[in-house]
Structure 1
Amino acid sequence: MTMLPEADALLVVRTGFSDPDAWQAVRAALGVTGEESFVEEFQDEVAVVDDATHADLTPDQLLGLLPSGYTDPILVVVDSAALESAEMPVLVVDLVEERGRAFRVIPAELPDIHSNLSIANMDFFEFADNADADGVFRGFR
């Protein structure tokens, strides 16, 4: 396994390699077209890490691979569970408040989470605690 790259962008790390078509569908749902993209919904850069050495790594293992200068409040993980579900719920890992705490989110809600956490408008727990019973955040109801 290799260290995650230095990036002044939201890192989206692929750990699920079971279905290449599903991976492309998740990328499209997130609005990510290249390895480094400006995604309008995020109003920021997104850096995709698509490296098979990260296959099946846990969030805790990925935290150990973050570069010391990474300043984004979250890490996004596209694991097998995200690839196997029609909703494509990616895993969002907190890097600030409760480092390592995670919940799943449907791609359409990720930009709002990222922007609110980036400007400290909301806290991680406000999203995590409002995930549905299955652990997936689908927006505030």
Structure 2
Amino acid sequence: MVLPEIVGRDAFAALIIRTDYADETAWQMIVAEVSQPSGAGGEYEARVHLVDDPVWAGSTPAAVRAAVRQDDQLSVVFVADRTTMQSAQHPLLALNISDEDKDLDPMYYQELIDSPPAQEFRTTPGAVHDVHANLSLANLDFDGFAEAALADSEGILRPL
């Protein structure tokens, strides 16, 4: 199945795609949380582009990545999958969209080829805006966020 192209997304909006439709209440809680202003005093408006279309139901991370790769303004996509919906903390799956490591020359980049960077991690809805903003501005890299998530006892990135 070919997934639809995401249209109308503001480049400053975090993209969140719902792939699990088992719990509407959980989804509404996630939407409410990612819609809250971010920053220490809530000084930043929440900008999100929500994809709530059953055509995405059951999509794998690889399928989601492939479907959104055309958006050259996008560095990360957040997925509300089964794990997200079933967990009390609703940790979204953050997927790295960058494919800059795709055609590395083994002569110069063998270490990177042997130990590829992280491609995904879990994040609470409250940390989505920090992740999206910092990756969009290239303030931090995806690996840094993935490492922070792995350092957590539950493997989840929490608000910075």
What residue identity is the alignment partner of 1:60?
A
Does the Cα contact within 8 Å between 1:3 and 1:67 map onto a contact in 2?
no
Determine the structure 2 residue equivalent to 1:54.
Answer: 56
Look up the SS of the partner of 2:148 in the other structure: coil
Determine the structure 2 residue equivalent to 1:123.
Answer: 141
Unmatched runs of 5 consecutive residues or more in structure 1? 32-38
Determine the structure 2 residue equivalent to 1:19.
Answer: 23
**Structure 1 residue 20: Cα displacement:** 0.6
Q: How does 1:33-112 map to 2 (within 5 A)?
A: 40-41=37-38, 43=45, 45-66=47-68, 68-96=70-98, 101-112=119-130
| Whole-angstrom distance in 2 between the partners of 1:44 and 1:23 | 17
| Whole-angstrom distance in 1 between the partners of 2:18 and 2:97 | 18
Does the Cα contact within 8 Å between 2:21 and 2:54 map onto a contact in 1?
yes
Look up the SS of the partner of 1:61 in the other structure: helix
| Whole-angstrom distance in 2 between the partners of 1:102 and 1:86 | 20
Cα distance, 1:128–1:110 mapped onto 2, change above 3 Å: same
What residue identity is the alignment partner of 1:102?
E
What residue identity is the alignment partner of 1:46?
V
Bigger Rg, which one: 2
Q: Which sits farther off after the overlay, 128-137 or 103-112?
A: 128-137
**Structure 1 residue 58: Cα displacement:** 1.0
Give the fraction of aligned pairs with identical amino acids, expressed as a percent. 32
| Whole-angstrom distance in 1 between the partners of 2:82 and 2:5 | 19
**Structure 1 residue 10: Cα displacement:** 2.5
For normalisation by structure 1, the TM-score amounts to: 0.82
Q: Does 1:4 align with 2:5?
A: yes
Cα distance, 1:71–1:63 mapped onto 2, change above 3 Å: same
Q: Which sits farther off after the overlay, 93-102 or 55-64?
A: 93-102
| Whole-angstrom distance in 1 between the partners of 2:127 and 2:101 | 20
**Structure 1 residue 138: Cα displacement:** 2.0
Structure with the higher fraction of residues in strand conformation: 1
Q: Which sits farther off after the overlay, 69-78 or 123-132?
A: 69-78
Determine the structure 1 residue equivalent to 2:110.
Answer: none
**Structure 1 residue 118: Cα displacement:** 1.2
The number of aligned residues is 133
Cα RMSD of the aligned pairs, angstroms, is 2.3
Q: Runs of at least 4 residues of structure 1 off by over 4 A?
A: 97-100
Determine the structure 2 residue equivalent to 1:136.
Answer: 156
Does the Cα contact within 8 Å between 1:15 and 1:54 map onto a contact in 2?
yes
Does the Cα contact within 8 Å between 1:5 and 1:67 map onto a contact in 2?
no
